[in-house]
Amino acid sequence: MKRCFWAVFIALIGIWLVSAEGQEKEKPNLVFGKTQDLEIELVTVPDSVGSGGKPVPTGADSKSSQEGRWLRIDVPYATDKKITPEVKFKFFLEGYEVVEGAKGAKDTEKFVVLTGEVTYRDVPKGEKHFAGIFLPPSSALRFAGLKPSGEADWSGRKMNLRVEAVDQGTPVEEFFDLQGDRDKGLSGRGGKKDPEWHKTADAIEVPGALLPIVETPFWPKDYKRYPQHKKL
């Protein structure tokens, strides 16, 4: 009798395992695109947007004024539902702030993590949406570190970028990681050996450094680029 019971039990377990293996894992609604489809560049405000109005203050550094180069980041993603009521993205960008040395001492730099959020509502089904965020010209100069023209390391994809998503209040398991395929990031941080680079003890977060397009001069010229923005 015991042998019969265990035989039936084992058979049922086998059937359950086969059935479980045959079931496809539920497809997530939001999936990030490939890193090669990331658009990250240093751009100036289009003439059609920047022309007219009051002039730039006399003596202002053109590189740090609003007319300077903005770091623009567009991360690709897709959604499967006909309409997704709300999607929130949080960006983490590697940066370095210069610390002036005491008299006679050399300047140093400290590791910072620039963050920002953007939320879209009523996102239609699509294979290639973009979540966009911007770093103003003055902030780009401030957090580019000691290296001459260090801001080019962002557009050159040498710095770490991580993006997390929340779909209707539920965190999306997958995240976008620019250096995730490497053993180690090009800056020495990030990669497979340092996936929590944005949470390390020496990481100093600068919240709100990255801005949604509605807080930049690129809006409303590029409003068609993104889903409807939701004010936080």
Residue by residue, DSSP assigns 132-160 as EEEE-HHHHHHTB-SSTTTTHHHHTT-S-
- Establish if 8 belongs to a structural domain: no
Domain count within the chain: 1
Domain membership flag for residue 166: yes
Q: What is the pLDDT of residues 10-54, one digit of tens each?
A: 444 554 444 444 445 688 999 999 999 999 999 998 876 666 677
Cβ atoms < 10 Å from Cβ of 61: 11
Which of 73, 44, 64, 74 lies closest to 143, judged by CA? 64
The answer to whether residue 7 sits within a structural domain is no
The whole model's pTM is what? 0.86
Residue 66 within a domain: yes
Domain assignment of residue 199, given as a range: 26-49+61-229
Q: What percentage of the chain exceeds 70 in pLDDT?
A: 86
What pLDDT band is residue 160 in, cutting at 50, 70 and 90? very high
Q: In 3D, which of 216, 199, 208 has the Cα closest to residue 232?
A: 208
Higher per-residue pLDDT: 7 or 98:
98
The Cα 44–Cα 197 span in angstroms is: 30
Residue found under tokens 């103003």: 136
